[in-house]
Amino acid sequence: MAYESVDKLQNALGEQVFHYTQDKKKAAGRALGTLVEIITYYLLKTWGFNNSTSIERGLAEYGNEDISHNVEYSLHPIINDYIVKLTNDGKSLTATKILKELEKQIDISRFVKKNNNLLDKHKTLRNACTIGESENSFLLTSFKSINSKEFELFVFEQMYKPYAMFECKRVGIEEGTAKGPQTIEKAKQGAYVARTASSLQKIRTDKGEKYGLIYRSDNQPYIKPYVELMEEIIYSIDFDLLKKFILTVGVVSNHGNWFTSDNQNKELKVLAHSYDWLMFLSDKGLAKFIDELIFNPSPEYKCVQQAFKNSYTVDKKRNIFTKVRMNLAADEALLKYFSDNISIIESWFNIITPENKSISNLKNEIAALRTKNWRAIL
């Protein structure tokens, strides 16, 4: 890594990009949090889960649906999918246009239109673009292909109940302090959502051993060692076990607060004991991403650098470098970067929990959940 730590890199980012702000290090820290979210999202897209992914959708607590929490990313069953073609006339791709074309294939009367643009006149893409919602499902759209004359779009209907969720947690260091003042609060927030999202609940013995408990439809509890029970559910065809199960995945980064995956502080342990999976994005990985795409990009990735800088200039008009809104050229470049370097990017993550598992195991578990017969289960 070109910098001694991400804290030093944050200072460099502050000097190079956020020099005009009152607190340039704090502004750079917020941008680092956005980058962690973007890395996570493009990892999911590269793994092939783009069409299953929703962003910032409310997730009801298990057994307590009066309370819901927005989560960064949730992966939902796809129950229908369509292809829509529209003329590339240089104008915005609105929900109205897409639904009007989709109406030639299906009855869309049960959906309430959402006023979102998949692509606006400034060539800004909306990721996980929702164009309609019904009582039990919603319609999202994304690009299948683009050329100078025509857009070819996917439209896919997702069920409300997800089978997996991802949350990103990052807190920086303030000057003169050993750790950020909100570190434990952010850890508690993440832990609470992870513990209340799924029907698979965590219990401990007096010796500290972690067990899982899940209720069958006859309200009888089923208890086993946690990881063993989690694997049984994921690879099961038992509808009782799968119906309200959600795989919870946390992504955390260091930045001086979480220490490392091998040297965990209290906050990191709280998260590790709460999520089904906890992934640690290393300083080295984050620094490499910033160096190759923002500080010193090759010509093919200059558009990523430009989109980032345009989002943080003193006279910026809009942010076009977030998990939700991304400059179209930057999106294409990021997909290429992740596709070309996926093995390296996966190595940026250390798996904290479950012990002795790899990122390949996580991909396999998500893929297994995606293929379930969710129509029958739910």
**Across all residues in the chain, what is the average pLDDT?**
90
pLDDT at residue 2 in the model: 57
Q: In percent, how much of the chain has pLDDT > 90?
A: 71
Higher model confidence: residue 165 or residue 31? 165
Domain boundaries, the chain: 6-58+164-198+246-284+346-377, 78-159
Of the CA atoms within 13 Å of residue 121, those in its CB half-sphere come to 1
Instruction: Give CA–CA dist 323/336, Å, rounded.
Output: 17
pLDDT at residue 367 in the model: 97
pLDDT at residue 20 in the model: 81
- Model confidence pLDDT, tens digit, residues 346-364: 999 999 999 999 999 999 9
Which residues contact residue 243 at a Cβ distance below 8 angstroms, ignoring those fewer than 6 apart? 199, 217, 377, 378
Mean pLDDT of 228-256: 91
Q: Quick check: 201 pLDDT over 50?
A: yes
329: exposed, middle or buried (C-beta count within 10 Å: 0-12, 13-18, 19+)? middle
Q: Quick check: 181 pLDDT over 50?
A: no
Instruction: Give CA–CA dist 35/168, Å, rounded.
Output: 10
At 174, is the pLDDT very low, low, confident or very high (cuts 50, 70, 90)? low
Q: How do 277-281 and 247-253 pair as beta strands?
A: parallel
Token reading at 322: 């977030």
Mean pLDDT of 241-261: 80
- Model confidence pLDDT, tens digit, residues 108-120: 999 999 999 999 9
Higher model confidence: residue 328 or residue 10? 328
Instruction: Give CA–CA dist 4/162, Å, rounded.
Output: 40
At 172, is the pLDDT very low, low, confident or very high (cuts 50, 70, 90)? low
Instruction: Give CA–CA dist 286/33, Å, rounded.
Output: 11
Which residues contact residue 272 at a Cβ distance below 8 angstroms, ignoring those fewer than 6 apart? 264, 278, 352, 353
- Give how far the C-alpha of residue 276 lies from the chain's centroid of Cα atoms, to the nearest Å: 15
Q: Quick check: 163 pLDDT over 60?
A: yes
Q: Read out DSSP for 80-127?
A: EEEEEEEE--SS-EEHHHHHHHHTTTS--TTSEE---EEE-TT-EEET
Instruction: Give CA–CA dist 108/90, Å, rounded.
Output: 26
Encoded amino acid at 366, one letter: I
pLDDT at residue 148 in the model: 87
Q: Quick check: 156 pLDDT over 70?
A: yes
Q: pTM value?
A: 0.92
pLDDT at residue 268 in the model: 79
pLDDT at residue 289 in the model: 94
Encoded amino acid at 269, one letter: K
Mean pLDDT of 183-203: 87
Q: Quick check: 244 pLDDT over 80?
A: yes
- Model confidence pLDDT, tens digit, residues 34-86: 999 999 999 999 999 999 999 999 999 999 999 999 999 999 999 999 999 99
Q: In percent, how much of the chain has pLDDT > 70?
A: 92
Cα separation of the two ends of the chain: 47
- Model confidence pLDDT, tens digit, residues 133-155: 999 999 999 999 999 899 999 99
